[in-house]
Structure 1
Amino acid sequence: MTDTIAPLATRVAAPAQVPLPAPGLGLTWRPATVGDAAAITALRVRSQEADGLPYRASVPETTEELAPPWRDLGRDTLLGLDADGTPRAWAHADSAPGDQRVVRAFVEGTVDPAWRGRGIGTALVAWSQARARQLLAASGKELPARIVTFVDGATPAVAVLYEAAGFRPVRYYTGMRRPLDVPLPDVPRVEGARVVPWDPRLDDAVRVAHNDVFADHWGSEPRTPEQWSQGRAMFAPEWSFVALDDADRVVGYAVSGRYEQDWPVAGFTSGYTELLGVRREWRGRRLAVALLGTVMRAYAADGMQYAELDVDTENPSGAYGLYAALGYDVAHSSTMLTIEL
């Protein structure tokens, strides 16, 4: 017996129009433009400060979020302005063009701390969910569908807001860090492989390897070249490395970011390992240890105090245990909440 699912259009029930929040909330609403990046970043930072989060948004990151060629800013973004024209609320929905197993739409938003408690957050969640349903329907992909958001462990009230709109927690992530002023793990020699500095000529080969490495990870989908080129605002090539086999095929990689805007609030400097992967046939041979050991040494050589990364607590490769064994400790947490369609 073959399992079947209803047509995508039926499941997502996309509205013909996405209604704006009610006028009585005290804000005027319009789509965002790339020119709003600095003002949106300032709003995000105000929210992060009020929520006591250990990181800060940056203008380059916000600009990059607004720039992907597949985005329709006129329909995918919403900015709420007060009488002085200052952004007090922000929400957006985004798609993932490369999805092949589950078609996804991601939503995010924030409300200025001084404007909370008025129903604006609830209105943003309703708007973003409606737009996400439109994006899913427009994908034309007859696949299982998912609306996704991520909530920091320090903001449980935000999770409650999304859960009231039908979202449910489905995955948990742990932020980990390791001090670099204590002995670093040895970098093992792996027979048949070598770790080399990042080379832009290997960039697409790393993308292809990443898609293969994460094919067996829950929630992961292939990245197109356009998707792969996004999320690079904080990319640190000097802290990134690639593992090649004897035929110069990419068999592992460690991609790092440099988030200097986070250092003052965190109270320390750090290098952040954005992506770490080893092809399945190379797992169990300590290649991940060799990559992480190399990365730690690069961070330390530049005077960083900590190495940081995030991990899915149910990662099938046993990554959490590996990181703990290498001296990483839990620092914070986040949750993925979804509506499955």
Structure 2
Amino acid sequence: MRTPEGLTSRPLVMSDARAVYEVMAAQEQEDLGSVEIEEADIVGDWGRPSFDVSAQTVGVFDSVDGNDTLVGYAEVTSADRGDAAVHPAYRGRGIGTELAHWMQAKARERGAPVIGMPVPVGSPGDRLLESLGYEVRWHSWVLQLPEGVSIVERPLPDGYEVREADPSEYTAVHDVVEDAFLEWSDRDRESYEDFESVVVRRPGFEPWHLRVVVDDSGEVVGVACLSVFEPEDDRDREAFVSRLAVRRDQRNRGLAQALLVDAYGRARDHGVMTGGLSTDSRTGALGLYEKVGMRVIMDWVNRAKTL
């Protein structure tokens, strides 16, 4: 990719994950007033067997005190989605525009008809992508269950149980999640190996993070996947439900609500008092989460450009 004068670029490698986290954290702190990303998120994503780090990423570097320092990065994460960040101190130099052009070229190279990425509403990234012809595909929201607020419990149907998933059930967990998500998400089915990388092998994973509802035959019919956000500043830890799914034929029985009650309850047993999750306009689930006491704290859009 072309870089502004004095800067260089190269493909990234796994050992660059920390530097990418630092750039993304600086951008989020500037745009959101808080850091929502963890290095573990990047390590988990880049560890997917389907992801080739050096083939699907690029970094922009400045020489600071004789050392190359990452100041911007981009990746094409999957067929039609990417991500990018520019350190706030380097904004206004055209780095974001060149990263967007690199993402478009990389997506074309991979045969994708469109490329998009999530950005906070009204942020510099949102305004830049709009100026480059990116249109809104969908809205998404981050919600929080504040400390001290509990979701009202709903009794499970007779014979059903909510509990920690057994490792022998992990493939069933993956199947329930993918079957549910592919009802509204236009993408290829995620492999179990990729799921394992971003959930089970994500740094910090503990077995209690995977919660399931099983029916009277012992079959997994609902899933909640937790990750515990460990901020590097003095903010409180947060239990984030990254995936929540109930099998189609088991819905409208209160299973999703029971999973949320269980997940956040177990988190509080482990000293994590705040809960969170995200949803988007494709799922139609925002009202459900607000109804059980969660509140929207961030508003994002996914902007995309036809190639």
Q: TM-score, normalised by structure 1?
A: 0.81
Using the TM superposition, give the Cα deviation of residue 212 of structure 1 relative to its aligned residue in structure 2, in angstroms.
Answer: 1.6
Of 34, 37, 41, 2:21 maps to 41
Q: Secondary structure at the match of 1:257?
A: strand
> Which secondary structure state, in structure 2, belongs to the residue aligned with residue 231 of structure 1?
helix
**Is 1:339 aligned with 2:302?**
no
Corresponding residue number in structure 1 for 2:2: 21
Partner of 1:111: 86
**How far apart, CA to CA, are the structure 1 residues paired with 2:300 and 2:205?**
22
Tell me how far apart the structure 2 counterparts of residues 269 and 60 of structure 1 sit (CA, whole Å). Answer: 14
RMSD between superposed Cα atoms in Å: 2.2
1:212-250: CA deviation from partner (whole Å, max 9, x where unpaired): 222321435421112212323254532431111122221
Of 267-276 and 201-210, the range deviating more from structure 2: 267-276
Q: 1:53 to 1:236 in 2, by over 3 A?
A: farther
2:220 to 238, 241, 250: 250
**How does 1:169-208 map onto structure 2 within 5 Å?**
169-208=136-175
User: In 2, are the aligned partners of 1:180 and 1:296 still within 8 Å (CA)?
Assistant: no
TM-score of the superposed pair, with normalisation by structure 2: 0.89
Computing the radius of gyration from Cα coordinates, the structure with the larger value is 1
Q: CA deviation at 1:121?
A: 0.8
Change (3 A) 1:333 1:236: farther
Instruction: Summarize the Cα distance change of 1:249–1:300 in structure 2 as closer, same or farther, 3 Å threshold.
Output: same
- Percent identical pairs in the alignment equals 27
Where does residue 207 of structure 2 map in the other structure? 237
**Preserved contact between residue 213 and residue 280 of structure 1 (Cα < 8 Å):** yes
- Over 3 Å counting, the alpha-carbon distance change for 1:305 and 1:209 in structure 2 is same
> How far has the Cα of 1:80 moved from its partner?
1.2
The structure 2 residue matched to 1:321, chosen from 271, 275, 287, is 287
* Contact 2:150–2:261, Cα closer than 8 Å, also in 1: no
Question: Does the C-alpha gap of structure 1 residues 198 and 180 become closer, same or farther in structure 2, counting only changes over 3 Å?
Answer: farther
- Offset of 1:263 from its aligned partner? 6.8
Aligned to 2:31: 51
Return the alpha-carbon distance in structure 1 between the equivalents of residues 233 and 165 of structure 2: 24
What SS does structure 2 have at the residue aligned with 1:42? Answer: helix
Contact preservation (8 Å) 1:33, 1:66: no
Which SS does the other structure have where 2:304 is aligned? strand
**1:262 offset after TM fit, Å?**
6.5
Q: 5+ residue gaps in structure 1?
A: 1-19, 96-103, 138-144
Go from structure 1 to structure 2 and tell me whether the alpha carbon gap of 1:203 and 1:146 turns closer, same or farther (over 3 Å shift). farther
Say if 1:136 and 1:193 are closer, same or farther in 2 by CA, change over 3 A. Answer: farther
Aligned partner of residue 223 in structure 2, secondary structure: strand
Q: Is the 8 A contact 2:164 2:208 kept in 1?
A: yes
8 Å CA contact 2:72–2:85 kept in 1: the answer is: yes
Structure 2 Cα separation of the partners of residues 291 and 156 of structure 1? 34
Q: 1:54 to 1:284 in 2, by over 3 A?
A: same
Aligned to 2:245: 277
* Separation in structure 1 between the aligned mates of residue 172 and residue 2 of structure 2, nearest angstrom: 44
Q: Does the 8 Å contact 2:74/2:83 carry over to 1?
A: yes
Q: State the distance in 1 between where 2:237 and 2:44 align.
A: 23
8 Å Cα contact 1:214/1:220 also seen in 2: no
1:150 is matched with which residue: 118, 122, 127?
A: 118
1:133–1:277 CA distance, 2 compared to 1 (3 A):
same
Q: 1:223 to 1:81 in 2, by over 3 A?
A: same
* Mapped contact 1:54–1:262 kept (Cα < 8 A): no
State the alpha-carbon separation in 2 of the partners of residues 62 and 195 from structure 1. 30
Distance in 2 between the 1:83 and 1:269 partners? 35
Count of matched residue pairs:
301
Cα deviation per residue 1:253-293 (whole Å; 9 max; x = unaligned)? Answer: 111010112673xx433211111111111111111121111
**Aligned with 1:65: secondary structure?**
helix
Q: Which moved more, 1:51-60 or 1:326-335?
A: 51-60
Give 3-state SS (helix, strand or coil) of 2:144's partner.
strand
- The aligned residue for residue 301 of structure 1 is 269
